[in-house]
Amino acid sequence: MIKEKSAQHWSVILVMGLLTAIGPLSIDMYLPAFPEIAADLRTTVAEISLSLSSFFIGISAGQLLYGPLLERYGRKRPLYAGLCLYFLAASGCALSRSPEMLIWFRFFQAIGGCVGMVAARAMVRDLFSVKDNARIFSLLVLVVSVSPILAPAFGGFITTALGWRYVFVALIVVVLLILAGTYFILPESKAPDPAFSLAPVPILRHFTAILKDPQFQVYAVAGSVSYGGLYAYVSGSPYVFMILHGVNRQQFGWIFAIIAAGLISASQANNLALRKFSNEQVIRFASLSQTVIGLLMVLSVVLAWDNLYLVMVLIFFFLACQGFIFPNATALALAPMGNQAGNASALIGTIQMSIGASASALVSVLEHQSALPMTAVMCSCALVAFIIFSSGQRRASRRAAKELVLQEEVETITDF
């Protein structure tokens, strides 16, 4: 365990936050360059957007690949391999001469980069006590949440000044810095386990055992469904704000930043809430609040009350609730995993990305000349998550409380 609030404590959290932020940075930085990329590669923006789809596919599937590797070889060796693959794929993106090349290199960029997301979650479970996991995840959310605010503007500046290929050059520099931090700062949090088999049948057996755990089922699935509301917002917000409410690109950037600040602030306020309330109490209140806000968003659209400022306020508080739900749900899902933290982290990431991508796609499929597709999907995610939390919490709490007393001698689960 790392001593709390030491210099090592903060430097390790910073590196793990950067590892977790690789995915969001890789998505957000090149979005403003879509028109320039399409023009340079003599294609359409629609075809270039397939490179985003291939990235989502890679980041969803790749996480399952790294779970077993993190258990067999320890945490750092798979990290080195994945980050080096990211470096090579990002170089390929910068040198791409056709849309097809870009699409394929983006896929492998995602395969390489997702190791950071999986390893960071597993290392939190390895290096910090169970009762501190939710607080550490809140700090990681702070690092990750800054990227949607800064990355698009930074990517747009690079594209204007140097050209779109230098966006990927910037990502190469970032991953080299992360590699250095991984080597010099991150400790090896789990020794390699030569007895851990990489054969398909044992791997599937390990994943199945994790999926059968009632606590993991409740918090991993419900947390991911709730997180799907964020993806629905990201997918639908350009149309809602820029088309329906007529804001320009600069104004949209400011709106995006203000709303993101709600998520960032809430994730840090979660640390204060955990001093007085249990993880489950925080989740239950935040999930209920998010559901009520989601219903108000839908109602405002149906009744044509959805002016710009009301939409901003409702979405701000909707995502603020997410800042309380995500860290606690992740911590509780990983709490009983022990030596299976790497595989469990991989499953959480895959479930989260799959549900998030589905929510994003659903907003696009539900064509409607209003904000109803976005708000309806966001509300549905919150409602379904609340139902899962409420119905599964008692069963998960009983088993988890017993396991944590025996294994960690720290009770973080309260039987309601």
Domain locations along the chain? 1-196, 199-410
What are the pLDDT digits (tens) for 180-238?
Answer: 999 999 888 888 888 887 888 888 888 888 888 888 888 999 999 998 898 888 777 77
Helix axes 76-94, 165-184, angle to 10 degrees: 160
pLDDT higher than threshold 70 for residue 396: no
- C-alpha–C-alpha distance, residues 72 and 155, integer Å: 37
Confidence of residue 117 (pLDDT cuts 50, 70, 90): confident
CATH code assigned to 1-196 = 1.20.1250.20
- C-alpha–C-alpha distance, residues 268 and 256, integer Å: 19
CA angle 4, 9, 218 (to 5 degrees): 75
pLDDT higher than threshold 80 for residue 46: no
Range 199-410 classified under CATH 1.20.1250.20: yes
Task: Retrieve residue 101's tokens.
Answer: 């090349």
**Per-chain mean pLDDT for the chain:** 83
Closest CA to 374 of 257, 254, 240: 240
The answer for 411, left when phi > 0, alpha when psi is -120 to 50, beta otherwise, is beta
Do the domains 199-410 and 1-196 match in fold?
Answer: yes
**3 state SS of 406:** helix
Span between the terminal Cα atoms of the chain, in Å: 30
- C-alpha–C-alpha distance, residues 115 and 64, integer Å: 10
Looking at residue 387, its pLDDT comes to 92
Least confident span in 33-47, 256-270, 305-319: 256-270
Mean pLDDT on 292-320 = 90
Looking at residue 268, its pLDDT comes to 75
- What predicted TM-score, i.e. pTM, was given to this entire model? 0.72
